[in-house]
Structure 1
Amino acid sequence: MYQPLYNHIKRFVDLSDEEEEILTSTLKSFSFKKKTFLLEQGQICRSNYFVVKGCLRLYFIDVKGVAQTTQFAIENWWISDLTSFMFQKPSDFFIQAAETTEVIAIAHQDYEKLFERIPKLEKYFRLIFQKLHQASQQRIMFLYSFSAEERYRHFNGLFPEFVQRIPQYMLASYLGFTPEFLSKIRTIK
């Protein structure tokens, strides 16, 4: 049941059978239908989610009332409102299933205990957070440096299968333009 997560962890650190058992005792699996909210603005994020199958998105509502997607998570990616999760403060974000999605969750109450019992997990999450931070920095750079069309072409070049999976309005929001503009870009060869 948790094998996809263990396979992902093994790409970064090796866990013993005993450590896997400790981890297994704290994990929970959930399935969410498309459009289900895992977190809504104002709630406290209680879990960090590893996507086994499907797609989740993290977004906020801007001052104009428009949803602005800041992150997607597909298979083998983690997603959470890290500020809310780490500090147990109300969230400014929503986490929603963009597709029917299966996740493995680690609850906040178990997080520090896991690090104490399995120090290798602290290294694993440090490496994951470094990758997440790098991806966020790259995305910000692309938002400021690339034209809208260049952002789309670059993203489509990196993740062509993903571009086909998610609704056009979500992709447009993530890339920083309107769905109408995305439709126009897609028709240009």
Structure 2
Amino acid sequence: MLENLKGHLKKFIDVDPIQLEEILGYLRTKTVARKENILEEGQVCKYHFFVLNGMLRKFFVNEKSVEQTTEFAIENWWITDNMAFEQRAVTTFYIQAVEKSELAYISQEDQEKLVAAFPTMERYFRFVYQRAYAAAQMRIKYLFSLSKEQFYLDMLQKYPHFVQRVPQYLIASFLGFTPEYLSEIRKRIIR
């Protein structure tokens, strides 16, 4: 079950098989059902999640009681409320399974023990956070520089498999518009 994580670790750090098994000993695994929340607003954020199989999304509920998706995590991606996780604080986000998902996860305390015992994991998590930060930067750039329609078309062109995999109402939530508006855009594309 942890083969994805083993491969992901090996992409970023050199680690021998014995150390790799010791590293994996710091993580736990779980299966979550589709639409199951693994973090809810108002809870203390205790875990950092790695998607072995499936898909998660992070969202908040805005002042109009509308869910606004801020992030997706597919296979080989980590997700948490970074600020709340780091500070062991209450979150304002939800993390929910979009599909039935297999996860590896680690507590903040165990992650600290892990990087103390295996300093190379500090390097690994630095790469993970750099990639996540870069993805967030690109999303912000697109939000400010592209029309909502162009943002969708760009996603469709660059990540067609992902766009086809995610329910359309969640794509609309991620892009900041209604599912009805996304339907209008899709009808124009098909013509």
- Per the TM superposition, whether the score is higher than 0.5 is yes
**Runs of 4+ that moved beyond 2 A:** none
* Identity value in percent: 43
Q: Where do 1:1-189 residues align within 5 Å?
A: 1-189=1-189
TM-score by length of 1: 0.97
* Structure 1: runs of 5 or more not aligned: none
In the alignment, the residues of structure 2 paired with residue 157 and residue 127 of structure 1 have an alpha-carbon distance, to the nearest angstrom, of 26
Q: Which runs of no fewer than 5 residues in structure 2 stay unpaired?
A: none
How many corresponding residue pairs? Answer: 189
TM-score (norm 2): 0.96
Please give the secondary structure, in 2, of the residue aligned with 1:177: coil
Q: CA deviation at 1:95?
A: 0.1
CA distance in structure 2 between the partners assigned to 1:25 and 1:135 by the alignment? 29
- The answer to whether the 8 Å contact 2:9/2:124 transfers is yes
Cα deviation 1:101-148 (Å, max 9, x = unaligned): 111111212011100111111101101101111111110110111001
3-state DSSP class of the match of 1:188?
helix
Q: Which amino acid aligns with 2:172?
A: A
Paired residue secondary structure (2:12): coil
Cα RMSD for the two superposed structures? 0.9
Distance in 2, matches of 1:127 and 1:114, equals: 16
Deviations 1:37-69 (A, max 9, x none): 000001011111111111100000111111110
Cα distance in 2 for partners of 1:165, 1:183 equals: 16
Instruction: Name the CA distance, whole Å, in 1 between partners of 2:59 and 2:22.
Output: 33
Give per-residue Cα distances to partners, 1:64-115, cap 9 Å, x unaligned: 1111100000111111111111110000000000111111111212011100
Read off the aligned partner of 1:127 and give its amino acid letter.
F
1:33 CA displacement: 0.6
Q: Select between 31-40 and 166-175 the one with higher mean Cα deviation.
A: 166-175
Once the two structures are TM-superposed, the CA of residue 9 in structure 1 deviates from its matched residue by 1.0
